[in-house]
Amino acid sequence: MTFLVNVFTNIYKRLGENKFRGVEKAVAPDLRDGRRVRASSALLLLLSELRKEQLPCCRGTHPSSVPEVRSYRVSASPMKLTAETVIAADGRTVWRFSQTPHLHARWDARFSAIEYLPRADEDRAQLFRYSTRIGLGIQIQGWGETIGRDDRTTSSLRFGSDDPKSLIREGSGSWRYRQESGFVRFSTVYDYSVRYGGFGRLLDLAFRPLMVWATRWSFDRLRIWIEDGTAPESSLRLWISKVAARLALGLVFIYEGLVPKILSQAKDEVMLVQHSRLFLGTPSLALAILGSCEILFGLWLLAGWAEKLSAVLSAVLIILLAVLVLSVRPDALTDPFGGISKNAGLLACALAVRLLSDASPSAVRARPKKRRARK
């Protein structure tokens, strides 16, 4: 595939006509990348250009008021943006949910609205406009063009924005739909260039991982919509509820480990450790070690790594500590300000995280899987 791309690229360079310059910008990132998925995207765009002799660019005189694509190219970046999900559905369904503008905007967190622009020829690339709300009533406007293969296995696109509020200046990428036994492997690879020079590249160090997370989270959101029938708006609410419960659980663990066990050791806490006789050294040292472990566990909960496992372990720890406290201080069971009443709320948070983990989107599940190279 890469060899064919190079052949067509040499033909294009020999022709050297201005009408092919838009394609050069679109496929340049693909030609620099040796992966088959990006090579196929480059070939698709180039074949489309050779067939139509002119790829419709976004011009300022177009009635859609899409800005003109300039001569800059997507620069080399430290990290390509990728996502992959396996959806138990047929290829036509996945294609419809991802290629229909109003459906796409519902599950993709990177867009608030997508509008296809009229086109006279169905064989030409589809121009579109998009907007993204970033809060406080502020939104970013952008443009793009996409073209898909007739067999619905690949879709390539270019996108960008002349909005000064947008860090992204221009980018390109591809979507792939691989039909396998009973499911579709839906994946994407894309890249972009930023504005504002060195300052923009510095901002991109934090922005790019956020975009990777948003892409993968959105892909899993699409999977849940197609497989379970949960609307994207509902899955967002479930995700917010799960994250709120997990953050509350993690913050309580950090507070309980830091304040009463390390910074200001409470007398009741020290006495509990002393009466339990489950310590080495002094009760104060053992209490401080226990507090450090609680802080580490709370940080794990905040990070969200293996959240189902962390939720189960947190429930187990809460129950074990409650049993330990009651064995030393049975009167804690009737204390309205004691740990028992508080632990009931924490157990509810742990249960919510465990139950909502599979029902809400997760970026981890849409991380591309490494495959062994065929011999």
- At residue 1, the pLDDT reads 44
| Segments of 88-166 assigned E as strands | 113-116, 126-135, 138-148, 154-160
CA 148 to chain centre: 23
Confidence tier at 8 by pLDDT (50, 70, 90): very low
- Per the model's pLDDT, the better-predicted residue between 314 and 135 turns out to be 314
Q: Residue 12 pLDDT > 50, yes or no?
A: no
Confidence tier at 119 by pLDDT (50, 70, 90): confident
Average pLDDT for 214-225: 97
Is residue 58 exposed (0-12), middle (13-18) or buried (19+ Cβ within 10 Å)?
A: buried
Range ranked top by mean pLDDT from 269-278, 308-317, 319-328: 308-317
Q: Which residues of 112-148 are buried (b: 16+ CB within 10 A; e: fewer)?
A: eebeebeeeeeebbbbbbbbbeeeeeeebbbbbbbbb
Confidence tier at 78 by pLDDT (50, 70, 90): low
Helices in the chain by DSSP H: which ranges? 2-15, 21-32, 36-52, 91-99, 101-107, 197-228, 232-258, 267-276, 283-303, 307-328, 339-356
Average pLDDT for 132-147: 91
Average pLDDT for 180-205: 94
Tokens coding 131: 């907007």
Q: Which fold has domain 55-229?
A: Alpha-D-Glucose-1,6-Bisphosphate; Chain A, domain 4 (3.30.530)
Can you list the pairs that 366-374 forms with residues at least 24 positions away whose Cβ atoms lie under 8 Å? Answer: 366/83, 366/84, 366/85, 366/215, 366/216, 366/217, 366/219, 366/220, 366/223, 367/83, 367/84, 367/216, 368/82, 368/83, 368/84, 368/187, 369/84
Tokens coding 186: 């839906």
- Per the model's pLDDT, the better-predicted residue between 23 and 205 turns out to be 205
Percent share of the chain, pLDDT over 70: 74
Q: Residue 25 pLDDT > 90, yes or no?
A: no
Least confident of 10-14, 197-201, 310-314: 10-14
- At residue 367, the pLDDT reads 93
C-alpha 28/C-alpha 18 separation (Å) is 16
CB contact at 8 A, 64 and 127: yes
Percent share of the chain, pLDDT over 90: 54
- At residue 146, the pLDDT reads 92
- At residue 221, the pLDDT reads 97
- At residue 354, the pLDDT reads 95
Confidence tier at 113 by pLDDT (50, 70, 90): very high
Least confident of 11-15, 279-283, 329-333: 11-15
Q: What are phi and psi of 138, to 5 degrees?
A: -95, 135
CB contact at 8 A, 132 and 111: yes
Residues 6 or more apart whose Cβ sits within 8 Å of residue 64: 58, 117, 118, 127, 129
For the chain, what are the domain ranges? 55-229, 235-356
- At residue 171, the pLDDT reads 95
- Per the model's pLDDT, the better-predicted residue between 270 and 179 turns out to be 179
Confidence tier at 338 by pLDDT (50, 70, 90): low
Q: Residue 350 pLDDT > 90, yes or no?
A: yes
Average pLDDT for 15-31: 40
Dihedral sign for Cα 366, 368, 370, 374, please: positive
Whether the model pTM is above 0.85: no
Neighbouring-strand partners of residue 184: 87, 179
- At residue 372, the pLDDT reads 55
Least confident of 104-108, 150-154, 282-286: 282-286
- Per the model's pLDDT, the better-predicted residue between 71 and 44 turns out to be 44
Quote the mean pLDDT of the chain: 79
Range ranked top by mean pLDDT from 15-19, 45-49, 351-355: 351-355
